[in-house]
Structure 1
Amino acid sequence: MLTAAQVLAVNNFGDTRSGGLAGPMGLFLILLLAAATVFLIRNMNGRLRRLPDRFPGQAPEEQADGAQPRAADDVRG
């Protein structure tokens, strides 16, 4: 009769040492993700460089002292 420990100790996953594909496949996926990240960052930087400094209708830049300019209709008591 099998005890609970013997039932749990049975290897039902087959031979875990044959093949050995997990290591190289993991390295391939890491390199693939790293390359994709580099290409995405380069693409994003290129798009940001092509943006204009100001867009039409954009609010004026901050004042020299760092305070935001107040609109005339923004009156709070």
Structure 2
Amino acid sequence: MLTTVEVLAQNNFGDTRTGGLAGPMGLFLILALATVTVLLIRNMNARLRRLPDRFPQQGGPDRADSAVADPTEGLVEQDSPTNAPSGSQQRRNS
């Protein structure tokens, strides 16, 4: 018959040497994911910088004959409520 001390002293956790690769593999996966994330952010920033400040107006075949007024025509450019730089400021800073 086993006493309480003998039951608690037994190692019932299995072979501890088989899980020896889990730590290095986890570190490798974390480093790989971090590297991929950094590369994706750099790629998307480069693509956003190549976009034009404004896109041309797109009109369907029914709007091709009529003159389309620019909705921003005549408006005074105002500072945005945020501190985000405009497109020309972004090109100057990069």
TM category, shorter: 0.5 to 0.7
Q: Which has the higher contact order (CA 8 A, sep 6+)?
A: 2
Asked if 1:33 is matched to 2:33, the reply is: yes
How many residues were matched structurally? 59
Unaligned runs of 5+ in 1: 1-5, 67-77
Name the structure 2 match of 1:14.
14
- Between the aligned partners of 1:42 and 1:29, the Cα distance in structure 2 is 20
Map Cα deviations across residues 40-60 of structure 1 (whole Å, 9 max, x no partner). 001100100110000112752
Unaligned runs of 5+ in 2: 1-6, 58-69, 81-94
Root-mean-square deviation (CA, aligned residues, Å) is 3.1
Runs (4 or more) in structure 1 with deviation over 6 Å come to none
TM-score, length-scaled by structure 2: 0.48
